[in-house]
Structure 1
Amino acid sequence: MKTTADVKDKYQSLISTLKRERDELNVKVHLASMEVRDEWKGVEEKWEHLQSKGRQLGQATDESAHELGDAVSILGSELKETYKRLKRAL
């Protein structure tokens, strides 16, 4: 069974990877088409939601940490796929 520390470590790793990709894309989006900018706006909302979940995770108990960890994993996967799609579009 995963511990709260395991879930938090996984979250930190995910955030680090996504932040690096996000920063790279943010520069390119300024030069992109309106369609890409619209998609970027939506993915930024998801990024803020992921950050919010991370703050909740910092205060979570073991049981709720596992539930939050699952939600973070799903949201993180969605962000990764969107970042990949945006990279291809740019």
Structure 2
Amino acid sequence: MNIKDELEKFRDGLLQQRDELKLQINLAKLEAKEEWESAESKIDSLMAKLESAGSEAKEASGDVLESAKALGEEIKSAYERIRKQL
């Protein structure tokens, strides 16, 4: 194999790697966006729960608070997953 063939083979390998990475980056962006949208809808739910906790009787507020804490942890985990993907 001559030098020109070797360089072309090397170039082709780099181009293939570039295309594969570009695809993986686009997929990661899509996954991160989907994760973000899911977290955003959970934030809306969390805000609603916190508002209702303030207006409900004390007995019911404990249940709402526990539910809000669990939802908050889900959101926190989602943000961590998004951060790892970026």
Match in the other structure for 2:3: none
Q: Quick check: which has more Rg, 1 or 2?
A: 2
In structure 2, distance between residues paired with 1:33 and 1:88: 11
Stretch of structure 1 that moved more, 80-89 or 32-41: 32-41
Aligned-residue CA RMSD (Å)? 1.2
TM-score by length of 2: 0.64
Match in the other structure for 1:86: 82
Gaps of 5+ in 2: 1-27
TM-score by length of 1: 0.61
Match in the other structure for 1:57: 53
Structure with greater contact order relative to length (CA < 8 Å, sep ≥ 6)? 1
Match in the other structure for 1:77: 73
For residue 80 of structure 1, report the CA deviation from its aligned partner.
0.9
Match in the other structure for 2:39: 43
Larger fraction in helix: 2
Amino acid corresponding to residue 48 of structure 1 in structure 2: D
Match in the other structure for 1:68: 64
**Number of matched pairs:** 59
For residue 88 of structure 1, report the CA deviation from its aligned partner.
1.0
